[in-house]
Structure 1
């Protein structure tokens, strides 16, 4: 469908102020490195500009014939679905590596059959993509959070989760951190999934194609809820999802020739720059995956009877 900065920084200080002692972000997302001086992505920080978005200035509603709305002074955006059409928007800017945050409040009540998609994607048949999709359900039943990573047009790396809260009662922050080493999916700053760069064993990784942020709401009652058994109840329409507090600490791809390119700095990182989530974040990731993961392509023997994809190896998980 349609960063990590290895550290999650709001970039309130200049890059020159970062020293070897910096291994923790302002908001508690940690990165542990055997040598803090070699934190990944540090070379690209000079190109990163933090951006608290105004939806009027930074996004285009691309389809829906009025079902997508920017409210007030551009601080809130809503997307709606009825029996005739859904709606969607996209960012004006393209990014190559960084951290993307958005607060979402999902469709309340009986949302069965609906999908709210929130994802980064490049363009073309051989596109890269980093997906959050929220699959609706009957009233009182939990949403399913569907995640996927596409490289060169190929996905099939699905992991699905429940949430430990009601995503329709209030806004919650859904984030993607993306750098040349890894992709991390986060919910309220808790990591739920990590997809590492394993190009050394032949696994493709999205690190060359800039991506825009997209979101949409649409009817998928052929498959979205209990495999399509539960259909959309159009008497509940319109179904509305709300968005606020978008923030991009990311490398913005230049529009004008002559501006420095994101990839030129990002690709100058030597291969010996080790890093990983710190022990606290690793424990949070394990907690989510042990208690809230409901599907993992890496354990689906019916789907992969001849053996799992190489990234599923326990040595690389």
Structure 2
């Protein structure tokens, strides 16, 4: 194949891959990467199920790496007595000095609310935890959990309602993840030493196997191809997006009613003073 034809083929391939992945068959987008068969594709690849028992949990990750994007996944969390379990859903780069944008859903006793634990890492360092109670039961139906990541901001959202924003404040010397492509991961595992009420409530293995389900993945994102990120013209809708007035009001509502922990209001943790972003983020 001549050079010109090869370049045209690569260009067309990039356009096909990077424009955005819609719902559909998850086999083409993800690999089950651990769990000895406890993670599986079902319904002809329309659904991923992760399970946890007293031997091990399970997990999957995306075949692609992304540099900026709007990532959506519908998830149904572990029902019933889910105390001690954690369902993690996050973007993470490779290496020890990794960047990460992180949801962790902390199970609870039947009838008690799930806790959503969020964090942002840059260069392998996090310590930016915020936690929220959900205002609905996340185990009876699928809900859409989103990460908007662009050069200006990171927004965590549930069913298009923002719950947290981490703005780019590099001009103030605050690190922001923007150079390292990240792969999407999810896992279901046991963390009863800390996950539920500080570890006081342990996993009830008589309820096992525990199960979380995933569907309708969508990534409007820049995809790493041949070592470099490639973006289609359709990225414009999210590449410069920030929260509009309605979204800001929704964010304030979530903070006021459902946020239960914010590292920026925990001075005992920082005897030398709160992190710099705590003075400017909200």
Aligned to 1:293: 259
Going from structure 1 to structure 2, the CA distance change for 1:316 and 1:64 (only over 3 Å counts) comes to: closer
1:117-266 paired onto structure 2 within 5 Å: 117-254=88-225, 256=226, 261-262=229-230
Q: Please say if 1:277 is aligned against 2:243.
A: yes
Aligned to 1:76: 47
Question: Which one has the bigger strand percentage?
Answer: 2
TM-fit CA distance, 1:48: 4.7
Q: 1:311 aligns with which of 267, 277, 282?
A: 277
Tell me if structure 1 keeps the 8 A contact 2:67–2:223: yes
For the residues of structure 1 that align with 2:27 and 2:17, how far apart are their CA atoms?
A: 24
For the residues of structure 1 that align with 2:149 and 2:127, how far apart are their CA atoms?
A: 19
For the residues of structure 2 that align with 1:246 and 1:85, how far apart are their CA atoms?
A: 25
Tell me if structure 1 keeps the 8 A contact 2:104–2:117: yes
Tell me if structure 2 keeps the 8 A contact 1:114–1:221: yes
Tell me if structure 1 keeps the 8 A contact 2:153–2:242: no
SS at 1:52 equivalent: coil
TM-fit CA distance, 1:56: 1.2
TM-fit CA distance, 1:304: 1.4
Tell me if structure 2 keeps the 8 A contact 1:102–1:244: yes
Moved segments of 4+, more than 2 Å: 45-48, 260-263, 273-276
TM-fit CA distance, 1:277: 1.6
Aligned to 1:26: none
TM-score computed with the length of structure 1 as normaliser: 0.79
Tell me if structure 1 keeps the 8 A contact 2:76–2:139: yes
For the residues of structure 2 that align with 1:217 and 1:117, how far apart are their CA atoms?
A: 6
Q: Please say if 1:50 is aligned against 2:16.
A: no
The C-alpha deviation readout for 1:84-125, integer Å capped at 9, x for no partner, is 000000000000001000000000000000000000000110
Tell me if structure 2 keeps the 8 A contact 1:120–1:214: yes
Q: 2:30 aligns with which of 59, 73, 82?
A: 59
Structure 2 residue runs without a partner (length 5+)? 1-14, 234-238
Question: Which one has the bigger helix percentage?
Answer: 2
Going from structure 1 to structure 2, the CA distance change for 1:275 and 1:76 (only over 3 Å counts) comes to: closer
For the residues of structure 1 that align with 2:115 and 2:281, how far apart are their CA atoms?
A: 26
RMSD across aligned C-alpha pairs, in angstroms?
2.0
TM-fit CA distance, 1:206: 0.4
Q: Please say if 1:91 is aligned against 2:62.
A: yes
